[in-house]
Chain A
């Protein structure tokens, strides 16, 4: 009996490993090996047409860490995250809450608000040029008529602000859809009870909906933070990173270095440094999330 049990167990373990194998191969081939390749490039000098031309030790890392443009791109990316994501969260949540309350026109609104999600980011970026240009721009001209002159395209502030507005337009609906699903998952009787006890819908939202939807909200925020750290198409299409590199995000800088100019060495070092920075941020985020859920 004991022998048969062991045999069955071994068979079971082998089967489990067999089931895991495709995932392990996938991760090894498409995550681990590329990461190793990036590490190797980061210690090398690379020239397009010649390949790796030599081992340069930590030179690429020194280059990256002492480069004002690199830190500028990190700064722009962080600004993007800390401004765009909270605004998207607030707007997305409020919209989802109003729809949950059954505000008039909710069904039409739900259909319309999702449409930017199906638009290419690069198209939104180029569309932004037509919004913010001083030559007949759909946003710039009416504002100018009201006496509000924003240098949308000619300053770092204007460029980043324009790109953040477009990003909010594109991604608020993402938060809305996830939070709406979270709010819909709250049992109706809890709402009914809360409405009887509370003085306003505001109290119901703050003391019932937010806490109960919190796990969903944190997931939505996490996804948006990760995506926002990679932001590329909208600001790049809008400003090309200029004036100078003042609106250049990390992804844009890494793209130009690695893909446009084939400096795989420096581009890879840049990616590794960014990976470390993001890992630290996300670790802290996860810790806080676990605490808040507990």
Chain B
């Protein structure tokens, strides 16, 4: 940009395009008039790779858009009449999302889908009992990404790559090139795609921007902490002040005391992800990418000085929310924020999405969103040194990124992929990401607004979103997914077990049964045993490979 004036003009052009008021061609043309490279603009707003062969819709496939001519011809034959699929899912919102597509697929293809649901804490057991016993009852499994390493323990992996099906235009169309790279990595193993698009998890900070913008609140904050209320907080120090400030008084005027933060920390659920995310900037930095293990020795890093300080910090965060958070499930944590009783919540994108439903939310149009706060000091557990930074903020892909993988024992792999691809089709993927109860978050560029992707806010508004909430959420979410400094995602065999040990020990600290140092030392000792059982050299090779 030549100057501030051009910058603003281009910003207006972007906003017009995001809001769907001008076409892609007009966007490129106006950008070029402002001196920007048309080639770069075209690349920024690149349509899907097979766009030339796509049609917008066809009566034979009412639930898909866009669609290939080959798909239209294929569906006319009711190709899976007499085929029944068995799919195992977790009894969580993403499982409900999958079930939503069962009648649609059955109508279009003539096939049948039987969905078995298990509680989230039993999902890993059910999947790997079925696979390791050789029963192979299921054609596909809904998986959390941290299960991936376990699928690849046997020489002949338990799941099959979907790349051969992806290349076949007779299946529902979706373009893996649209994936944000950090998300694509989670659906792949050794560079090959195994998963079919559903979810795209990351944790960001959500806050009540209306309350943060209140003049009285701002004055009170400044009087207490001697600096302006930061919206959003940039550092964990600021975030602590904010959670402390908003705790224990009635800032929403409903006669009840409110809270500064809402978390869920019930053991054996997904609460440990909060610790992983909030602790990251104490350990991960431009100078260190290793959080879990020393890649040379596979010795745990989890009881390093940085982790210890992070855990002490995490305990303080919990103290600024309701005491019962320690036993809350994910939904209970969200409910407190959605009911308007919590000023902030560091969590997944479900929260702003659920906030759009006025039946269950009092905070639509009031959602602020930002990457999670960083630190000004981080510990490098490899060199054993603290180092200062202006601001060390860390992105993440923490969460399940729940999606389905196909069993190698399935006799109906192609039909199974066909069902899964229906959910990955652009029309459905966007609907999933924008609809609260699906539990699905956006991981594809077409869901984001230019210059990141090709989406536009009108699509989100049509799905019930407040315009500002959508813009702010997607901007923050992308910043988390594409942050230059990213927290690693543990996907080696036994990841579920490593995380379980961390989970129970953190919970013991929160419950007052252990001191942070003892808890992290106990976690490290347990991790050593797990590593030895799986084979240190094998684990080391896989851990190192996860960074390539």
Which residues of A approach B to under 8 Å, CB–CB? 45-50, 53, 63, 69, 133-135, 151, 153-156, 159, 239-246, 256, 259-263, 265
Q: Counting CB contacts under 8 A, is B505 at the interface? A: yes
A-B contact pairs, 9 of them (CB 8 A): A49-B131, A133-B327, A153-B324, A156-B513, A240-B268, A241-B268, A242-B507, A243-B327, A261-B494
C-alpha gap A292/B335 in the complex (Å): 56
A263→B507 contact, CB < 8 A? no
Q: Counting CB contacts under 8 A, is B496 at the interface? A: yes
Q: Counting CB contacts under 8 A, is B471 at the interface? A: no
Quick one: closest A residue to B267, CB to CB? A242
- What residues on A are CB-neighbors of B92 within 8 Å? none
A242 and B332 contact, Cβ closer than 8 Å, known pairs A50-B153, A155-B511? no
Quick one: closest B residue to A140, CB to CB? B324
A156→B511 contact, CB < 8 A? yes
B267→A240 contact, CB < 8 A? yes
A260 and B535 contact, Cβ closer than 8 Å, known pairs A241-B267, A242-B327, A243-B507? no
- What residues on B are CB-neighbors of A47 within 8 Å? 153, 493, 533-535
A153→B496 contact, CB < 8 A? no
Of listed B121, B324, B335, residue having the most chain A CB within 10 A: B324
Closest chain-B Cβ to A240's Cβ sits at a distance in Å of 4
C-alpha gap A245/B129 in the complex (Å): 24
A153→B508 contact, CB < 8 A? no
B158→A49 contact, CB < 8 A? yes
A262→B128 contact, CB < 8 A? yes
B153→A244 contact, CB < 8 A? no
A154→B324 contact, CB < 8 A? yes
B111-141 at interface with A (beta carbon < 8 Å)? 121-122, 124-125, 128-129, 131-132
Q: Counting CB contacts under 8 A, is B323 at the interface? A: yes
B446-478 at interface with A (beta carbon < 8 Å)? none
Closest chain-A Cβ to B500's Cβ sits at a distance in Å of 7
C-alpha gap A263/B508 in the complex (Å): 22
* CB contact between B124 and one of A154, A240, A260 (< 8 Å): that residue: A260
Q: Counting CB contacts under 8 A, is B185 at the interface? A: no
A243→B511 contact, CB < 8 A? yes
Closest chain-A Cβ to B132's Cβ sits at a distance in Å of 5
Quick one: closest B residue to A258, CB to CB? B125
- What residues on B are CB-neighbors of A242 within 8 Å? 266-268, 326-327, 504, 507, 511
B504→A48 contact, CB < 8 A? no
A48 and B132 contact, Cβ closer than 8 Å, known pairs A134-B322, A261-B497? yes
A262→B132 contact, CB < 8 A? yes
C-alpha gap A263/B534 in the complex (Å): 10
C-alpha gap A63/B532 in the complex (Å): 13
Q: Counting CB contacts under 8 A, is B529 at the interface? A: yes
B514→A244 contact, CB < 8 A? yes
C-alpha gap A49/B133 in the complex (Å): 9
Closest chain-B Cβ to A86's Cβ sits at a distance in Å of 27
Given contacts A243-B326, A260-B122, 18 further A-B contacts (CB under 8 A): A47-B493, A49-B128, A49-B150, A133-B332, A135-B335, A151-B324, A156-B511, A240-B266, A240-B267, A242-B511, A244-B267, A244-B509, A244-B514, A245-B267, A260-B121, A260-B124, A260-B500, A265-B533
B268→A246 contact, CB < 8 A? no
B132→A49 contact, CB < 8 A? yes
A135→B332 contact, CB < 8 A? yes
B490-527 at interface with A (beta carbon < 8 Å)? 493-494, 496-497, 500, 504-505, 507-514
* CB contact between A244 and one of B332, B493, B497, B505 (< 8 Å): that residue: B505
Quick one: closest A residue to B509, CB to CB? A244
B326→A154 contact, CB < 8 A? yes
Encode B288-332 as 1/0 by CB contact (under 8 A) with A.
000000000000000000000000000000000011111100001
A260→B125 contact, CB < 8 A? yes
B154→A50 contact, CB < 8 A? yes
Closest chain-A Cβ to B7's Cβ sits at a distance in Å of 48
Q: Counting CB contacts under 8 A, is B269 at the interface? A: yes
C-alpha gap A260/B129 in the complex (Å): 9
- What residues on A are CB-neighbors of B505 within 8 Å? 244
A246→B327 contact, CB < 8 A? no
Quick one: closest A residue to B322, CB to CB? A134
B129→A259 contact, CB < 8 A? yes
C-alpha gap A48/B325 in the complex (Å): 34
A240 and B332 contact, Cβ closer than 8 Å, known pairs A49-B150, A260-B124? no
- What residues on A are CB-neighbors of B507 within 8 Å? 242-244
B154→A49 contact, CB < 8 A? yes
Encode B132-167 as 1/0 by CB contact (under 8 A) with A.
100000000000000000100110001000000000
Closest chain-B Cβ to A197's Cβ sits at a distance in Å of 55
- What residues on A are CB-neighbors of B512 within 8 Å? 243
Closest chain-A Cβ to B526's Cβ sits at a distance in Å of 9
A133→B534 contact, CB < 8 A? no
Closest chain-B Cβ to A49's Cβ sits at a distance in Å of 3
C-alpha gap A154/B264 in the complex (Å): 12
Quick one: closest A residue to B123, CB to CB? A260
- What residues on B are CB-neighbors of A241 within 8 Å? 267-268, 504
- What residues on A are CB-neighbors of B124 within 8 Å? 260
Closest chain-B Cβ to A194's Cβ sits at a distance in Å of 51
B500→A261 contact, CB < 8 A? yes
B324→A134 contact, CB < 8 A? yes
* CB contact between A154 and one of B125, B504, B511, B534 (< 8 Å): that residue: B511
A53 and B535 contact, Cβ closer than 8 Å, known pairs A240-B267, A244-B504? yes
C-alpha gap A263/B532 in the complex (Å): 12
Closest chain-A Cβ to B325's Cβ sits at a distance in Å of 8
A243→B508 contact, CB < 8 A? yes
Closest chain-A Cβ to B471's Cβ sits at a distance in Å of 32
Which 4 pairs of residues, A with B, have the shortest CB-CB distance? A243-B511, A244-B508, A242-B267, A49-B153
- What residues on A are CB-neighbors of B514 within 8 Å? 244
A153→B504 contact, CB < 8 A? no
A245→B496 contact, CB < 8 A? no
- What residues on B are CB-neighbors of A261 within 8 Å? 494, 496-497, 500
Of listed A156, A243, A259, A262, residue having the most chain B CB within 10 A: A243
C-alpha gap A242/B510 in the complex (Å): 10
- What residues on B are CB-neighbors of A46 within 8 Å? 533
- What residues on B are CB-neighbors of A45 within 8 Å? 533
* CB contact between A259 and one of B125, B500, B511, B533 (< 8 Å): that residue: B125
A243 and B267 contact, Cβ closer than 8 Å, known pairs A48-B132, A63-B529? yes
C-alpha gap A289/B266 in the complex (Å): 42
Closest chain-A Cβ to B18's Cβ sits at a distance in Å of 38
B323→A243 contact, CB < 8 A? no
- What residues on A are CB-neighbors of B335 within 8 Å? 135
C-alpha gap A265/B529 in the complex (Å): 12
C-alpha gap A135/B342 in the complex (Å): 14
C-alpha gap A244/B512 in the complex (Å): 9
C-alpha gap A79/B158 in the complex (Å): 42
Closest chain-B Cβ to A46's Cβ sits at a distance in Å of 8
C-alpha gap A246/B332 in the complex (Å): 21
- What residues on A are CB-neighbors of B500 within 8 Å? 256, 260-261
A263→B266 contact, CB < 8 A? no
C-alpha gap A4/B399 in the complex (Å): 80
- What residues on A are CB-neighbors of B497 within 8 Å? 261, 263
Closest chain-B Cβ to A25's Cβ sits at a distance in Å of 24
Of listed B132, B327, B512, B535, residue having the most chain A CB within 10 A: B327
